[in-house]
Amino acid sequence: MPETAAREAHTVRLEPSGHTFTVNPGETILEAALRQGVGLPYGCRNGACGACKGTLKSGEIEYGEHQERAIRPEEKAAGKALTCVVKPLTDVVYELRELTGAKDLQIRTLPARVEKVETPAEDVRVLYLKLPAAERMQFLAGQYIDILMKDGKRRSFSMANAPHDDQFLQLHIRKAPGGAFSKYVFEEMKERAILRFEGPLGTFYLREDSDKPAIFVAGGTGFAPIKAVIEHMFHNKMDREIVLYWGARSKSDLYLPDLPPKWAAEHPNFSYIPVLSEPKPEDQWTGRTGFVHQAVLDDFPSLSGYQVYACGAPAMTDVAKDSFLSQRELPEDEFFCDAFTYSVDPKK
């Protein structure tokens, strides 16, 4: 292949939609798709989560840096590829389920003022960000924003508010050892601080063209985007069955303990199962224990008729996906994931 191939524009044709778009020199397939309003699935955008995985049907591509957990060597050998890190060396045909929900949303860079901060748990802060008076951001429940830090780095946080409740953007921040942004939030941030962010981003949102019952699996602050999606479903009076599993180490890590029971009392189609992996003696916990994905396996002999939305650490989301698909007949295209991935620039 000539060295100039990667410096030429190439065409990508998507299957099964038949849509085509042009990838400029130096762009990844995902960057080009986002620039032209083509709705491709993605999460981390840095080769760490695997949400943008598709199949190369023809043509040649050049791989960028990525984590092996996002796409295994045997998957690459079978033609699988991540749109967020590959650049076409020729015109290519790429098989990937195209999305329609996010493609019409404008990604913008905006300032926001920290209007209010709540501390529901010792190591969790809830930020309420207020946009300028004349601004509102259109987004889908479950999407995230990138906080733009002064050193040029980004930190990604899911929005915990649903689109109908957009007076403030709500972020749930857990204190992370060595985390630059969480250190700022917990130790340095002044009242009414101004932040800059880019958004909305991500493809973790409800597939509203389905009427299948939905199982939500949250780990820790992975509850944030799931909260947004569930509140969106309630607001739009969707009558789909909703089951929420929220996993945490100890009772205090279920940092909004009264909210899911309130939902359950108000909505007959909603049920809630909290699961603790390491309850403390003082918790006096009588509920479910162990790993949160195992609770789902224990409760459902088959997931063939369900959709699953999982958000949390990769250790949880990876094993949840593998076990639900291999042991409980969940169709692969009915598992939706937002993994809190860490690479050069940590997510969440």
Q: Per-block average pLDDT, block size 10, for the chain (348 residues)?
A: 64 93 94 85 82 93 89 90 94 87 79 96 96 87 94 93 94 90 92 95 92 97 98 95 98 97 98 98 97 98 98 94 97 91 43
Name the strand (E) or helix (H) holding 322. helix 314-328
Encoding tokens for residue 195? Answer: 């932040």
Q: How far is CA 32 from the centre of its chain?
A: 21
Q: Domain check: are 34 and 67 in the same one?
A: yes
Q: What is the per-residue pLDDT for 137?
A: 87
Encoding tokens for residue 266? Answer: 């108000």
Whether residue 296 is contained in a domain is answered as yes
Q: Domain check: are 49 and 121 in the same one?
A: no
For 32-70, b/e burial (b = at least 16 CB within 10 A) is bbbeeebbbbbbbbbbbbbbbbbebeebebeeeebbeeb
Strand ranges (E), the chain: 10-15, 20-23, 53-58, 61-63, 80-82, 86-88, 92-95, 108-121, 124-130, 144-148, 154-158, 169-174, 194-201, 214-219, 242-248, 270-276, 288-289, 307-312, 335-339
Q: How many domains does the chain have?
A: 3
Whether residue 159 is contained in a domain is answered as yes
What is each CA distance from 168 to 13, 33, 110, 263, in whole angstroms?
39, 29, 13, 21
Q: Domain check: are 321 and 234 in the same one?
A: yes
Q: How far is CA 151 from the centre of its chain?
A: 24
The one-letter code for the residue type at 24 is N
Q: Domain check: are 189 and 274 in the same one?
A: no
Q: Domain check: are 69 and 136 in the same one?
A: no
Q: How far apart are the first and last CA of the chain?
A: 39
Residue in the block written with tokens 């590959």: 86
Q: Domain check: are 187 and 83 in the same one?
A: no
DSSP assignments along 20-49, one per residue: EEEE-TT--HHHHHHHTT-----SSSSSSS
Residues of the domain holding 144? 108-201
Range list of H helices, 55-134: 73-77
- Is the Cα dihedral 145, 242, 102, 334 positive or negative? positive
Encoding tokens for residue 170? Answer: 């709500």
The domain that contains 166 carries what CATH number?
2.40.30.10
Phi then psi dihedrals of residue 41, to 5 deg: -70, 145
Whether residue 346 is contained in a domain is answered as no
* Packed helices 223-235 and 259-266: angle between N→C axes, nearest 10 degrees: 20
Q: What is the per-residue pLDDT for 347?
A: 42
In three-state secondary structure terms, 73 is helix
The domain that contains 24 carries what CATH number?
3.10.20.30
Q: Domain check: are 117 and 72 in the same one?
A: no
Q: Domain check: are 157 and 242 in the same one?
A: no
Contact (Cβ atoms closer than 8 angstroms) between residue 338 and residue 222: yes
Q: Domain check: are 335 and 234 in the same one?
A: yes
Whether residue 33 is contained in a domain is answered as yes
Residue ending a domain, choose from 68, 95, 122:
95
Q: Domain check: are 131 and 156 in the same one?
A: yes
Q: What is the per-residue pLDDT for 303?
A: 98
Q: What is the per-residue pLDDT for 39?
A: 80
Contact (Cβ atoms closer than 8 angstroms) between residue 204 and residue 142: yes
Q: How far is CA 193 from the centre of its chain?
A: 26
The domain that contains 284 carries what CATH number?
3.40.50.80
Length of the chain: 348
Whether residue 207 is contained in a domain is answered as no
Q: What is the per-residue pLDDT for 54?
A: 93
The one-letter code for the residue type at 175 is K
What is each CA distance from 328 to 153, 293, 299, 307, 323, in whole angstroms?
40, 12, 11, 12, 7
Whether residue 173 is contained in a domain is answered as yes
Whether residue 102 is contained in a domain is answered as no
Q: Domain check: are 219 and 335 in the same one?
A: yes
Q: What is the per-residue pLDDT for 118?
A: 96
Q: Domain check: are 294 and 220 in the same one?
A: yes
Residue ending a domain, choose from 45, 66, 95:
95
Q: Give the pTM.
A: 0.80
Whole-angstrom distance, CA of residue 256 vs CA of residue 139: 24
Whether residue 237 is contained in a domain is answered as yes
Residue ending a domain, choose from 155, 172, 201:
201
